[in-house]
Amino acid sequence: MDEFIFWSRRRGYKSRCEICGREANDISAALKVCATCVRERFTEARPYLAAAHARIRREHGLPPHPPQDKEGFKCNDCGNECRIPPGEKGFCGLVENSGEKLVRRFGTPERGLLSWYYDPLPTNCVPADFCAGSSGAGYPKWCRTPRGDIGYYNLSIFLGSCTYNCLFCQNYSFHELTAAGSPTISAAQLAERADERVGCACYFGGDPSSQMPFVIASAEMMLEKARREGRILRVCLETNLSMNRSSLERFTELSLGSGGGVKADLKCWSSEILYALSGIEHRRAYENFSWLARRHRERPEVPLARASTLLVPGYVDDEEIRALASFIADLDPTIPYSLLAFHPLYHMEDMPFTRREDAERYLRICREEGLEKVRIGNPWLLA
């Protein structure tokens, strides 16, 4: 970000919407359009939004949008459904059209693009209040003590690629891995890291949806090893949920049968705001979440489906939260939902933190819509 804009915004500078002319500190300097105009005047707003995403994607050597070449090979691994022209790569940067066939360079059982580390339990993961390893839910079947797996570790697996282009990304360092093509590890090698000290393995990123063949293969190997050794091991996913349905179904079985969960990062509700914030136009995440919710009650002691939303000031507002809460409650009001305070980073570094009064109002809205397990996930960041 331009240094003048960054420091000016810290001193109370307001950006101006290029369409309606309104000035406010919750209008993104990168997008140049306010949320009202994004929703209500999308045709006018779209060129500004597209330009912002294209500029950012070019910085990372990635396609400006999911390619849709009529003569290209189609990749069905995620909701982008790229049609990749010869010699080019898909939106995630991992799948290429070699001219004769599609080639997945990373995210295969032989080659995952990621970094990993051991995180002591209980962790600070978003759904920690509801998971077995940190809360003790489902003891003794799914964890080792009534307080969780105290003294054990979460194998944290940071996937180095993504299927979205979120301007507010809280883990944008994944781009370094995508660009470098390293570090890499095989599914078998990663499974060995899930040793007797590990109570759970969590895939996040970036986003796991970009490397699901690797994710599934490594999780299967971990669980088989734990089964042979007679120990508890949970596998979890934190994801934008844009993978193809068959991949989600396979991982859900692994998670359901191990005491783990699938946490969906639902960015917003309206398609217009989704495009503004992430550069994505499909609704795969919401379709997948609807399917996941139907499996939710099969293991009530440890919630399978979980959801969260980052409260981006000015864009994820009352309208977006009410629609999301209604969507989740209609599926199953017992699904845990975490509202996350926004921390200014990446290409929205100029934006303000989420205000406490806004977060508390969103909490009330969620309860009004019928959600039973809603919380503010990181209140220490509220302004």
Could you tell me which residues are annotated as the binding site for [4Fe-4S] cluster?
162, 166, 169
Query: Is residue 350 helix, strand or coil?
Result: coil
Contacts of 50 (CB under 8 A, 6+ apart): 64, 65
DSSP β-bridge partners for residue 118 = 155
Strand ranges in 87-239 using DSSP code E only, listed in sequence order: 95-97, 102-104, 112-120, 153-159, 184-185, 198-205, 234-239
Structure tokens at 253: 């079985």
Cβ atoms of 196 and 189 within 8 Å: the answer is no
Q: Which two tokens stand for residue 54?
A: 């294209």
For 287, the 3-state DSSP assignment is: helix
C-alpha 160: how far from chain center? 13
Which residues are registered as beta bridge partners of 119?
154
Q: Is 361 helix (H, G, I), strand (E, B) or coil?
A: helix
Cα–Cα distance measured from residue 296 to residue 66, given in angstroms and rounded to the nearest whole number: 31
Q: How far apart are CA 248 and CA 239, in angstroms?
A: 11
Q: Is the dihedral of CA 65, 70, 73, 75 positive or negative?
A: positive
**How far apart are alpha carbons 328 and 379 in whole angstroms?**
22
Enter the tokens of residue 275. Answer: 């495009």
CB burial of 322-334 (b: ≥16 within 10 Å; e: otherwise) equals: bebbbbbbebbeb
Reduce the DSSP state of residue 97 to 3 states and report it: strand
Specify the amino acid at residue 239.
Answer: T
Which residues make up each annotated binding site? 162, 166, 169
Read off the tokens for 121.
Answer: 């339990």
